[in-house]
Amino acid sequence: MDAMDWALLAELQADARLSFSELSRRVHLSAPAVAERVRRLEETGVITGYHARVDPALAGRPVSAVIRMNCYGPRCILRDGAVTAWPEILEVDRVTGDTCCILRVATASMAAFEELIDRLAPHGQPSSTMVLSTPVPWRPLSPAPGAEAKGR
């Protein structure tokens, strides 16, 4: 992970659809070298994928929320793949503290959200917080502050 890798990551995080040629122009490296570096970043798992980002509200899911789940031991939703596969659930983090995991969800309506809570309740006590807006929806990962570029 040297400075060149970070330059490539910056470009691809900003626009995943850039061609290798266009990337090579922006980072001042030859196209084959760029292709090889990106391939390595993918293979080592640094780049986990390339995804279009969709606005939930404009896609018919105006109700967003963060739900902290206090699961009942054996019925923990993390032990039930069917639950974490529900389409309303956009993200699941296992965390420390008095709660077992945090869910990020989006539904088409308050009624649908209420119904989701009802479905979650058998697995644990849900504590919901509605998302009013998202001032920073996402930020590209950059080199950790203080970290020096290192060779591999």
Partner DNA sequence: ACTGAAAGAGCAATACA
Partner DNA sequence: TGTATTGCTCTTTCAGT
Which chain residues interact with DNA by CB under 7 A?
4, 19-22, 28-33, 35-37
Choosing from 14, 43, 74, 151, the residue that interacts with its own copies (CB under 8 A) is: 14
The answer to whether the beta carbons of residues 119 and 89 sit under 8 Å apart is no
Choosing from 28, 74, 82, 144, the residue that interacts with its own copies (CB under 8 A) is: 144
Number of Cα atoms under 13 Å in the Cβ half of residue 143? 14
SS3 111: helix
The answer to whether the beta carbons of residues 34 and 24 sit under 8 Å apart is yes
Q: Which does 54 bind (CB under 5 to 8 A by kind): its own copies, DNA, none?
A: its own copies
Q: Name the strand (E) or helix (H) holding 25.
A: helix 20-27
Compare residues 29 and 78 and give the one whose CB is closer to DNA: 29
Q: Kindly state the smallest distance separating residue 80's Cβ from its own copies, in Å.
A: 11
The residue type at 59: A
Q: How far apart, in whole angstroms, are the C-alpha atoms of residue 56 and residue 54? A: 6
Instruction: Looking at residues 38 to 97 of the shown chain, list those that interact with its own copies (rule: CB under 8 A).
Output: 44-56, 58-61, 66, 78, 84, 87-97
Q: Kindly state the smallest distance separating residue 135's Cβ from its own copies, in Å.
A: 5
Supply φ then ψ for residue 31, to 5 degrees.
-60, -45
Q: Which does 31 bind (CB under 5 to 8 A by kind): DNA, its own copies, none?
A: DNA
Q: How far apart, in whole angstroms, are the C-alpha atoms of residue 100 and residue 1? A: 34
Q: Kindly state the smallest distance separating residue 149's Cβ from DNA, in Å.
A: 12
Instruction: Summarize as ranges the residues that interact with its own copies (CB under 8 A).
Output: 1, 9, 12-17, 44-56, 58-61, 66, 78, 84, 87-97, 99, 101-102, 106-108, 112, 129-147
